[in-house]
Amino acid sequence: MTTVVEDLVDGHSYRQVLAGFALSRIFHVSGLTEIPARQLIEAANDPGIPNIGDIYPGTTAIPCVEVLAEPAGPNAAKVTCNYSAQANVSTYNQPFPTGNDGQDVKQVSSSLREIRTPLDRNGAFMELTPPTPLTAWLPYNSEATRFIPVGEVVFERVETSPPTSRARALVGKVNQFNLGGTNYPAGTLLFWALDADSNDGGIRWNCTYTFRYDSAGWGHVDAFRGPDGKIPLGVTVETFDVIDDDDFGGLGLDFSDNQTPIS
């Protein structure tokens, strides 16, 4: 039967690092029974040794990220467990979360999109009627080029589980309800992409959520036109919902304008 003793003096350390902490714990394991070639594996996997991902005692956000076993005499080993909440060296610069972190917007871009519309800025048709000598001609609605604001809102977040279910369920849909108060009215935010990768074997996932915003919404807008391609007077502009919607509230992302800087 093995004996595991933690050494709180020799090799035990605590370090402050960027956006977090790093600690090392030293364990001495004796009474190993495997053949010599397997004793380090036996020591590292002893029930008394922390596992990768276990949280440092007395904390909630500093996981074990490395277990190193070294020979320490006959049938014995020295096991070093390294814990770290150090930020990733990337834009996902947040400490390791107990759930998910980084709910704030990390990137915003905006521009204008050009559309053709028969409506003025007050939503009224721009009617054109023929002058008196040309009464044989039918009146119609003029069309103008209009520029509407569009943009992208990007969140970067470290997560503790793969986002596969969210990708299947929500990507390609528009917001069913207002988000960020009145910042993004229902139907104006399209879940464009969800990218994720893990560089530690699936313990942490670097996730990027990309939403595209269109102030006019993502519905299909059209109106009846005559054989000449013009919109007759009295026609109503119709909007058709062609993209499925869903509730984005469960994503836990902050769509407000009150962003919290990373410390």
Given pLDDT bands bounded at 50, 70 and 90, which one contains residue 102? low
Please give the backbone phi and psi of residue 38, each rounded to the nearest 5 degrees, phi first: -115, 5
Share of the chain above pLDDT 70, in %: 88
- Going by pLDDT thresholds of 50, 70 and 90, the confidence category of residue 111 is confident
Average pLDDT score over residue span 32-47: 94
In the prediction, which pLDDT does 142 show? 87
Reported confidence tier of residue 95, pLDDT bands at 50, 70, 90: very low
Average pLDDT over residues 141-156: 86
- List the single range of 96-100, 148-152, 214-218 with lowest mean pLDDT: 96-100
pLDDT at 193: 94
What is the pLDDT at residue 105?
60
CA triple 88-26-35, angle to 5 deg: 110
pLDDT tops 50 at residue 50: yes
- Give the pLDDT of residue 143: 86
pLDDT of amino acid 19: 54
Give yes or no for a contact between 108 and 90, defined as CB atoms under 8 angstroms apart: no
Which region among 88-102, 128-142, 166-180 has the lowest average model confidence (pLDDT)? 88-102
pTM score, whole prediction: 0.59
Q: Is the pLDDT of residue 229 over 90?
A: no
What pLDDT score was predicted for residue 113?
Answer: 79
207-231: average pLDDT: 88
φ/ψ bin of 28: left (φ > 0), alpha (ψ from -120 to 50), beta (otherwise): beta
pLDDT of residue 129: 84
Q: Find, among 195, 204, 186, 197, the residue nearest to 248 by Cα.
A: 186
Looking at per-residue confidence, does 200 or 148 come out higher?
148
